[in-house]
Amino acid sequence: MEVFVCQCSGSKVDDALVHQERLSQSTGATVKVSSQLCRRGVSALGSLSDNQKQDEILIACTQERAFFDGLAAQRTANGLSPLKFIDAKRLQASSKNLHEAVPAIAATIAMSEVASEPVAAVEYTSSGRVALIGRASQVLPWANALSETASVSVYITEPDGGTLPTQRSYQVFSESVLSAKGWLGSFTVQSTSNNPIDLELCTQCGACVSACPEGAIDAGLFQIKMDVCKSHRDCVAACSEFNAIQFVSEAKTSRTFDLVIDFSSSPVIGKMHAPLGYYAVGSDQALQAKAALAAVQLIGTFEKPKFFTYKSSLCAHSRSKISGCSKCIDTCSTQAISSKGDQVFVEPHLCLGCGACATVCPTGAMRYNFPSAPVMGQRFRLALKAYFQAGGERPSLLLLSEEGGAATYNSFTREVRQGRAKAGSLNLIPVELQHAASVGMALWLSAIAFGAEYVIVGLDATQADEYRSALVEQASLANLLLNALGVAGQRVVCIDMSVQGWSDSLSQPVHSTPASLATFAVSDNKRTTLDFCFDHFLALNKESLKQTGADPRLIPVALPAGSLYGAVKVDSQKCTLCMSCTGACPSSALVDNPEAPELRFVEHNCVQCGLCANTCPEGAIELMPRLNLQPSSRQPQVLNQAKPFHCITCAKAFATQSMIDNMVKKLSGHSMFQGHLKRLQMCEDCRVVDMYSVKDEMTIFDVKRPS
């Protein structure tokens, strides 16, 4: 890779040579530092000529991206890869020259060298059928403007003025919209009539207006004012030829569209993250213009990445219609995830790629792919390695959503460079993500194991409350786990970048960099990655944990309810060893013993989903969230066992003593077992033999048909 870093006239030529060497050595790339790269220094980009051999070009500036893209058009013509960009300006938040920013630039370059894996695509097809919903004064002008280039349908929810078009160039419905569901190319709008005049049948002849004795019909919108109408029905008689007026209440009507532009003050789709193709514009003229432009442009077939992978065999959502974990459903603000039998279903067209479902999933059944955890882990590891090799100290990662957080942070760094704001004490490496919620606990702990002093999660105004609460909860649990593993302080910090003074959170207590940094590769399995982190921190803090006597390998650490680690407590007085819990357990934490009536438990496998407790007919199971890293936690431990009951006829062991005693007690008064209660104490074979040995036993063949 060839990297071009611009100083913006910030330092001398001899400094540039030093920076080039430091960056080249720490990243392994060919780095060229120049001055005024987008102006007088453009000659340094001679490597973009037709004879260019380097396939990877990285420009460390995003401000002049359009300019560089223009120069690089010949690259695609020559079959070379397009240019890549990183923002070096925001990495110079504490200084106007390049010197202090070199480690962060090296880290960012190293991250850019790790390519994302290809992912499947989700396809949308739109033919330009647009529904406009709102008051007549708002929707009709836009309908007139769009009707020449798009197929427009108008829902007039309030007749507050205006005039219907004299030529029928688009559909008009005077209806109240009840709901709108779907996505780009596949919306269903359900509505009900709020006007006795069907505007699609109306020819605007005006006969009804002339016939109405109360003047209750608006001559511009042909809307009957029901509070003025006295029900003479003269209008119905006047319109008898066209039958466009009917006062009987209409049933619900459903229609399909490709896009929906909603001018309502209260959006029909109330979710913060609306599906693609739905635009809640209200009275905002800028949003209205943006939506109108989209209505014209979004005609054809489009693709987006499929952001997730779901492995149903790991899911702890439900078993036999008994509910367990629903964290992904509760967290998703787009309502893309729903319950489907014992599993969950993710509608890929509704998923917008926040990744919060994967962050809160305790089992790893839901995984984020854009990029995947192994790719993101490799980026973190190489970035921190390059940072240290470039001479940096005490780095912290700042995770930003590309939609809102990145713009907020870029504005802040500009103010810092201009002396209008103060930089925090942390040495930050900004990481721009599809969404800040897509990186969760396994990657947070991995980053700290790789050498990050802090992991800062940037929350911004574009994020729904569900994501905020989920991230704060996960960060609290991450800090609790880190403290239990000997890593002091609140190392995972969530900051709200939408409030004034948020930058004060960029100053945190100082923690020294550990002498030994982890080198493991992040796994696609969340719990495997966390095991790597646990092993690293335990080995690193062995002595300090020994002195405090709080080693989780010796004494379990209590965790809050809802944690992804823990044990179960079984009340042996209630438990009958029916083993229904073992069938419900999705992670093989609860298992039976095929050789004896025993209920066994592998704590390392438990995800605290609660399916066992919800399934147990006796209510004998209680969850115990905790972190237990004792070697025995990986081995089956007996939770309950019972004396086997032997058949009273053949002495075969076929059940437990407590189970048989319980059955005899409950069924002793049942008419079916009167005189034959001993059969409950027989095995399945002896029970059948006994039934056929009793001569006066009634069978199905003895039942007579009614005459």
DSSP character string of 451-475? T-SEEEEEE-TTS-HHHHHHHHHHH
User: Residue 15 corresponds to which amino acid?
Assistant: D
Q: Cα 668–671–672 angle (5° rounding)?
A: 90
Task: Give me the pLDDT at residue 51, please.
Answer: 44
Task: Give me the pLDDT at residue 50, please.
Answer: 45
The encoded tokens of residue 84 equal 């890549």
Sign of CA dihedral 676, 682, 685, 690: negative
**Residue that is written with structure tokens 């199971």 in the block:** 621
Instruction: Catalogue the long-range contacts made by 186-189 (C-beta closer than 8 Å, 24 or more residues apart).
Output: 186/256, 186/258, 186/349, 187/131, 187/256, 187/257, 187/258, 187/259, 187/260, 187/277, 187/278, 188/254, 188/255, 188/256, 189/131, 189/133, 189/155, 189/254, 189/255, 189/256, 189/257, 189/260
The DSSP element (H or E) to which 235 belongs, if any, is helix 234-238
Torsion angle of C-alpha atoms 377, 382, 387, 391, degrees rounded to 10:
140
Chunked mean pLDDT (size 10), the chain, 707 residues: 80 74 91 84 62 70 83 72 83 69 93 93 96 96 93 95 89 95 97 93 94 94 92 93 86 95 94 90 96 94 96 94 95 94 96 96 96 97 96 96 92 89 92 96 98 97 91 97 96 96 94 91 96 96 87 94 96 91 95 90 97 96 97 96 89 84 85 82 91 69 58
Other C-beta atoms lying within 10 Å of the C-beta of residue 640: 20
Number of alpha carbons in the 13 Å side-chain half-sphere of residue 277:
33
Task: Give me the pLDDT at residue 705, please.
Answer: 61
Task: Give me the pLDDT at residue 411, please.
Answer: 92
pTM: 0.88
**Residue that is written with structure tokens 């104490």 in the block:** 681
CA distance 133 to 452: 50
CA distance 104 to 510: 18
Q: In a 3-state reduction of DSSP, which class is residue 190?
A: strand
Nearest C-alpha neighbor of 450 from the set 373, 530, 385, 531: 385
Task: Give me the pLDDT at residue 695, please.
Answer: 66
Nearest C-alpha neighbor of 263 from the set 126, 129, 137: 137
Task: Give me the pLDDT at residue 53, please.
Answer: 54
